[in-house]
Chain A
Amino acid sequence: MEKETKAFQRIYTKLYQLTKATVTLQAKGVGYDELAIVDGRLAQVVKIMGDMVTLQIFGGTEGIATNAEVIFAGKSPTLKVSDDLAGRFFNAYGEPMEGGEIMGEEREIGGPSVNPVRRKQPSEFIPTGIAGIDLNNALVTGQKIPFFADPDQPFNQVMAMVALRAKADKIILAGMGLTRDDYLYFKNVFDNAGALDRIVGFINTTEDPPVERLLVPDMALTAAEYFADEKNEKVLVLLTDMTLYSDALSIVSNRMDQIPSKDSMPGSLYSDLARLYEKAVQFPDGGSITIIAVTTLSGGDITHAVPDNTGYITEGQLFLRKDSDIGKVIVDPFRSLSRLKQLVIGKKTREDHPQVMNAAVRLYADAANAKTKQENGFDLTDYDERSLEFAKGYSEKLLAIDVNIETDAMLETAYDLFEKHFTPAEVGIRQEFVEKYWKKNGK
């Protein structure tokens, strides 16, 4: 049953056990994490007990027979890296979708992490023109941050917009369970912007088997490390959708009889996701990997295991929601947060940026309270009325995702709104800033 082909290739033809995502067989000399081909489908070793080896089949096990041919590859999954990657789209296995081959150095994917003492502190502001991001949640190179959005939000559109405005040297798109339409949308936008030669795509669409997705982010991040570390480029990685990625993780772990944790996700979900997101890094030589991801929510529930674990890993999140008062999608200032913003705001941007940002959000919170009051049928005070007016202007002129202005203009817009609705004492920012900027803006 065992025959030697090439030096390291061994072939087996007797499966001992089959589940939806795994097969188990008797085999010798197999390494942990090693790749194999089972009946032509790619698989990876996930468990070895004595001479019993369990393989996870990325394409699923449908139709695999107990006498299927199993060939071990003698190595773990790899990607060939070179400048050749630029401008091309690949499947989950790192094979060009349009056919052909890539020349380059073969690298194991999911490689080791950067020594923390060799990292540099992120400090480069990434302006996007969207005030809900730049003013309240400024992004920084080397950051990792997801959009939290219900499936009906235009997250892929916003992400594409951010990617194009971010002035990255390379944009690496990791599509997991992407609809074909969205895949073509991304291709189109990048093409129209003349950015196609800066794009590398690793795509698993809804038409592909879900378990294949598990390879996609590691492929994308291996490519990202090549450009950021070796070419000192600013790389932006787009991971969409990480909820679908996590679903694939749960399929595999449930098939492996692991005790499921919250929301039937594996107990190791935190580590599994952190391993990917932590690839975001600022290298000392100028290269960087910034990760912008999408985590779709179900009914806005951020306590679900996927958004919850993500929130604990990423450096903030951008929460998209529809504001019914203005009929537009906004970046919610309450649930959104960029943890790295303090590295740039007030330093790379105007000095009063942090205080203006905080004051506006606080006033917006007052408006939310007033709104609750209103909904409960209570009378509103003059202050309540004013904060509601403010909130509307704030939403329309700053929070809406269709805003596209410079950061200074955002600050001026904020002062305009403050001055229109409040006194300096109500806004409560530092006296020196009031003296310097209040009544000196716009008009």
Chain B
Amino acid sequence: MNTIGNVTGIIANLVVVETEGTTAQNEICFIKHGDTRLMAEVIKVVGNKSYIQVFESTRGLKVGTEVEFMGHMLEVTLGPGILSKNFDGLQNDLNKMDGVFLKRGQYTDPLDMDKEFDFKGLAKKGDKVVAGSWLGEVKENWIPHKIMVPFTFKGEYTLKSIKEDGSYKPAETIAVLTDNDGREHEVTMVQKWPVKVPIKAYKHKPRPFKILETGIRVMDTLNPIAEGGTGFIPGPFGSGKTVLQHNLSKNAEADLVVIAACGERANEVVEIFTEFPELDDPRSGRKLMERTTIIANTSNMPVAAREASVYTAMTISEYYRAMGLKVLLLADSTSRWAQALREMSNRMEELPGPDGFPMDLSAIIANFYARAGFVYLPNDETGSITFIGTVSPAGGNLKEPVTESTKKVARCFYALSQDRADSKRYPAIDPIDSYSKYLEYPEIAEYLNKTIAENWTESVFKAKDILLRGKEAYEQINILGDDGVPLNYHIRYWKSELIDFAILQQDAFDKIDASSSLERQNFMLQRTLEITDMEFDFESFEDVGPYFKRLINALKQMNYSEYDSDQFENNKKELESILKEQEKEAVTQ
């Protein structure tokens, strides 16, 4: 019997419910408002009063309305058919909703329960299995979608029977397991899981030791993110967070991409809906949409569901990770989620922490980031979730609670700079302030030097050093004037500009430049460093800039050309001939 209560208070989407029965923290309930049922979640209980946040507008709601508590937390439905779907924050299939406008209280099935999937058994009768063990697989787009022992199962089971290979609907029983007490349990292709609880159906989670190739030079080359790693992108509005994330979702070397559009613009989601079904996945050659799942809680959708949306996205990612896949999870923007928490906490008149955010914000963020990672599954296969969130700091000032709390847990910091964005130096990742802690991991360094080039990390640190020295030189030039500094300062500054233009800057909207393979990145880095290693000779500081601009132009033209194409070779020759001029000058002097 479900607990029943009555509404006694309403402040926007915070509703107070009085009940005689039991209720639990994070329990889901439904308010019976006329013909519609409004979904809500318990966020606080005091005596016989439950405080619930409603995932819908509360317009017209009255005191006395009946509320039914469901006895479970907010859950997602996991099974074949999730991929390439567009969900809202509560995992309703948006495509199944009718009408142009979202209707309050309309909830739709996340999966297509009538669709049949071709099942192939992987486990055999008598096998010992645990939560997350692969029993069989079905084809979902191009992914072999594993049918697993439900994550809620504790301890060891024996596979009593499994269906023959063939077509089945998701809700059909495909296997029967026996527990140690001899009780039988039926398993279907579908299971449910509470989103706020991490799925831990893996053996262990080592430190990440490989990098995730993203195709974005300033990330891969300068500050790589590990497969199973975490990173965040803070930046003022308009600095390029979303473009960068979209570019990651298009080009990163992941098996699948889960995008949580959290409290941001609807048009940005529409962009994905429109473009991804047309765009090719650079690796599999299939359409990008086939590997993408979108959880959309845009800024005009109910605020309380914003928080749910990131957890829904994380849980779906964990589900696919348990199948041995490489998942990239992107959330834009985690600040909106934090703000949703703040709105609620203020309404409940809780003691506010810094900037009015809840006191436990840091812990909430830390727990969330901790769910990412590279794991060894029960059968020793591996899977990973690489998580990158954006942060939208108020006034662009990084000294604020969400940025600071995230900085404590995320291992890569990609700070977008207003200055770089203003001067259209995209992606506007600040090369000096940003970092990847993974570069300090010996196992990552070893991996990089083995897979990209022997001297790779050395080259990377060298490039960073040139950038830093260039910046210092630039500051000196600004203080002392062009002719108040030795000529060498100008050369130093322009060498850093060379790296800036050839490596850091990348045109996300250019077909070719948008993504760069590691091989190509290696070539460009080495070629650029060969130039910065050269000694240059100039009559006057006035000659430095114009000369380097020609070099930069040649390198940029290379970035715009297909790698190793004739055009690329021509641009390369052009570069070499400009460099020869200097050699000649050096000789004649």
Contact = CB atoms under 8 A, between A and B. Distances in A.
Contact of B102 (A114, A279, A337): A114
Interface in A348-388: 354, 358, 361-362, 365, 372-373, 376-379, 381-383
Given A114-B100, A117-B273, A122-B267, 9 more contacts: A32-B60, A46-B11, A113-B102, A115-B97, A119-B270, A270-B263, A311-B236, A313-B265, A316-B238
Contacts of A305: 394-395
Contacts of B300: 113, 274-275, 278-279
26 contacts: A28-B63, A31-B59, A31-B62, A32-B62, A33-B59, A46-B11, A48-B9, A112-B102, A113-B102, A113-B266, A115-B102, A116-B266, A121-B275, A122-B267, A259-B352, A261-B355, A261-B356, A267-B346, A303-B395, A305-B395, A315-B265, A373-B481, A373-B482, A428-B549, A428-B552, A430-B557
B101 A334 contact: no
Contacts of B450: none
A329 to B, nearest CB: 20
A308 B484 CA distance: 40
B99 interface: yes
Contacts of B569: none
B542 A382 contact: yes
B243 to A, nearest CB: 9
A48 B100 CA distance: 32
Interface residues of A, number: 81
A425 B553 contact: yes
Contact of B101 (A33, A112, A304, A315): A112
A425 B549 contact: yes
A30 B267 contact: no
Interface string A284-313: 000000000000000000011100110111
A278 B299 CA distance: 7
Contact of B298 (A49, A116, A311, A431): A116
Interface stretch (B173-181, B335-343, B404-412): B335-343
Contacts of A373: 478, 481-482
B10 A334 contact: no
A340 interface: yes
B242 to A, nearest CB: 8
B415 to A, nearest CB: 17
A426 interface: yes
B103 interface: yes
B112 interface: no
B114 interface: no
Nearest to B9: A49
A336 to B, nearest CB: 10
B546 interface: yes
Interface of B: 8-12, 16, 57-63, 86, 94-95, 97, 99-104, 236-238, 263, 265-267, 269-271, 273-275, 296, 298-301, 303, 336, 339-340, 342-343, 346-347, 352, 355-356, 392, 394-397, 422-424, 478, 481-484, 509, 541-542, 545-546, 549-550, 552-553, 556-557, 560
Given A31-B59, A278-B266, A112 B549 contact: no
Nearest to B275: A121
Interface in A160-179: none
B274 A121 contact: yes
Contact of B94 (A30, A48, A115, A382): A115
A112 B553 CA distance: 51
A31 B60 contact: yes
Contacts of B542: 381-383
A46 B422 CA distance: 42
Contact of A119 (B59, B266, B545, B557): B266
A381 B104 contact: no
B11 A354 contact: no
Interface in A392-434: 425-426, 428, 430-431
B99 A115 contact: yes
A267 B347 CA distance: 10
A180 interface: no
A436 interface: no
Listed residue (A34, A112, A309, A372) with the most chain B CB atoms within 10 angstroms of its CB? A112
A271 interface: yes
Interface of A: 28-34, 46-51, 76, 108, 111-122, 142-143, 229, 258-259, 261-262, 267-268, 270-271, 274-275, 278-281, 283, 303-305, 308-309, 311-313, 315-317, 334-335, 337, 339-340, 342, 354, 358, 361-362, 365, 372-373, 376-379, 381-383, 425-426, 428, 430-431
Contact of A354 (B301, B343, B509): B509
B101 A114 contact: yes
Contact of B482 (A51, A303, A381): A381
B549 A30 contact: no
Contacts of A76: 59-60
Nearest to B86: A117
Contacts of B99: 115, 118
Contact of B296 (A116, A262, A278, A354): A116
Contacts of B101: 111-115
Contacts of B60: 31-34, 76
B267 A426 contact: no
A303 B546 contact: no
Nearest to B567: A431
B397 A335 contact: no
A121 B62 contact: no
Contacts of B238: 311, 316-317, 337, 339
Given A47-B10, A76-B59, A381 B545 contact: yes
Contact of B303 (A49, A50, A271, A281): A271
* A-B pairs with lowest CB-CB distance, top 3: A278-B300, A303-B395, A274-B299
Given A112-B102, A278-B298, A335-B422, A142 B267 contact: yes
Nearest to A337: B238
Contacts of B552: 428
A268 to B, nearest CB: 5
A425 to B, nearest CB: 5
A377 B94 CA distance: 61
A234 to B, nearest CB: 16
A119 B272 CA distance: 12
Given A268-B343, A315-B265, A262 B62 contact: no
Given A32-B59, A115-B97, A283-B100, A120 B336 contact: no
A28 B63 CA distance: 8
Nearest to B96: A117
A342 B270 contact: no
Contact of A114 (B266, B271, B340): B266
B545 A362 contact: no
B47 to A, nearest CB: 14
A439 to B, nearest CB: 17
A278 B271 CA distance: 15
A46 B14 CA distance: 12
Given A111-B101, A313-B265, A315-B267, A428 B10 contact: no
B341 to A, nearest CB: 10
B104 A112 contact: yes
B414 to A, nearest CB: 18
B103 A112 contact: yes
Contacts of A304: 395
Q: Which of B263, B266, B422, B483 has the most C-beta atoms of chain A within 10 angstroms of its own C-beta?
A: B266
Which of A33, A115, A340, A376 is packed against the most chain B CB atoms within 10 Å?
A: A115
Contacts of A118: 99-100
Contacts of B62: 29-32, 48
A372 B482 CA distance: 12
B421 to A, nearest CB: 9
A287 to B, nearest CB: 10
B564 to A, nearest CB: 18
Nearest to A427: B553
Nearest to B99: A115
A179 B436 CA distance: 53
Contacts of A258: 346-347
Contacts of A308: 237, 394-396
